[in-house]
């Protein structure tokens, strides 16, 4: 690895802030390490006129970063963990996870608005959010919206949408908390697996001991459960799933959602020892589907 650690990041304001969060945290205990941010535009950032499901899913936000990492032009890559497929890429392991930022989804209104109006569509890039929002607000049109946070907010404030559904973590990191109109509770809208957690990806066989003080064990435990839930349900398919883990003492409480082939929404909870985090994720997933539904669910 080079003396200056090259940190790969998507080419957006939020992604660069997230890369800097990792760098700043590491430098607190390793002040002599130098870092350089290398920005890379991913396929997911380039294709904005189609839904993610129709062009390949969440993996489109990491493909070019992984190629740069494998090729040696960067030394680590920083991702939003929720954007990563549940299967790790061979030779490119996740080597550290951040402390979890607020995991919730939020409602954002146009500047100056005080209430949600039904005159224009609500913008959402996520079928998971769309389905859960429709349960809370009946009769609203929901329209897909792509692009970075500033682009979406600009479209909102120009009057193209009556509201947006976004991740609280991204707005917090961009210091845009003032734009939040409503924070949805876990009972109202279950987040995406690992939402709010940053993942640092590296190369097999490299020394990443400098990330030891950055890595968060709580995030590791809940992500193992959430991502096993995702994997059990075939989380690369377009059918939406949602899951969120909380730790209380040595107990993990996992809340999940699955939508079956007929559009029926099923939610459930499971709890148990944190030592069984992955098993709990699998058990909850299996509870939410019958044997036959389970086999027909995979793409």
Enumerate the active-site residues: 83
Q: How far apart are CA 212 and CA 147, in angstroms?
A: 33
Report the distance separating Cα 215 and Cα 211, nearest Å: 6
State the SS3 of the chain.
CCCEEEEEEECCHHHHHHHHHHHHHHHHHCCCCEEEEEEECCHHHHCCCCCHHHHCCHHHHCHHHHHHHHHCCCCEEEEEHHHCCCCCECCECEEEECCCCCCCEEEECCCCCCCCCCCCCEECCCHHHHHHHHHHCCCCCEECCCCCHHHHHHHHHCCCCCEEEEEHHHHHHCCCHHHEEEECCCCCCCCCCCCCCEEEECCCCCCCHHHCCCCCHHHHHHHHHHHHHHHHCCCCCCCCEEEEEEEECCEEEEEEEEECCCCCEEEEEEEEEHHHHHHHHHHHHHHCCCHHHHHHHCC
**Spatial distance between the Cα atoms of 299 and 297, rounded to a whole number of angstroms:** 6
CB 28 within 8 A of CB 35: no
Q: Find the Cα–Cα–Cα–Cα dihedral 239, 14, 26, 198, rounded to 10°.
A: -10
């Amino acid at each position: 690895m080079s003396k200056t650690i090259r940190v790969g990041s998507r080419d957006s304001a939020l992604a660069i802030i997230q890369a800097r969060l990792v760098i700043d945290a590491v430098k607190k205990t390793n002040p002599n390490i130098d870092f350089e941010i290398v920005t890379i535009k991913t396929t997911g950032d380039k294709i904005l006129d189609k839904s993610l499901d129709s062009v390949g899913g969440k993996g489109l936000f990491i493909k070019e970063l992984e190629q740069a990492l494998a090729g040696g032009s960067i030394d680590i890559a920083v991702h939003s963990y929720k954007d990563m497929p549940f299967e790790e890429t061979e030779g490119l392991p996740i080597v550290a996870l951040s402390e979890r930022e607020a995991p919730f989804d939020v409602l954002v209104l146009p500047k100056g608005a005080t209430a949600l109006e039904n005159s224009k569509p609500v913008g959402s890039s996520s079928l998971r959010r769309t389905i859960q929002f429709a349960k809370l607000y009946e009769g609203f049109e929901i329209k897909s919206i792509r692009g970075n946070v500033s682009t979406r907010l600009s479209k909102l404030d120009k009057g193209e949408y009556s509201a947006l559904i976004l991740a609280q973590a991204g707005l917090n990191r961009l210091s845009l908390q003032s734009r939040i109109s409503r924070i949805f509770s876990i009972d109202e809208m279950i987040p995406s697996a690992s939402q709010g957690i940053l993942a640092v990806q590296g190369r097999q066989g490299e020394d990443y001991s400098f990330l030891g003080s950055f890595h968060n064990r709580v995030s590791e435990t809940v992500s193992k459960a959430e991502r096993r839930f995702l994997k059990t349900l075939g989380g690369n398919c377009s059918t939406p799933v949602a899951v969120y883990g909380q730790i209380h003492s040595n107990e993990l409480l996992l809340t999940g959602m699955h939508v079956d082939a007929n559009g029926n929404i099923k939610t459930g909870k499971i709890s148990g020892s944190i030592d069984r985090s992955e098993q709990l994720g699998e058990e909850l997933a299996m509870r939410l589907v019958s044997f036959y539904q389970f086999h027909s669910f995979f793409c």
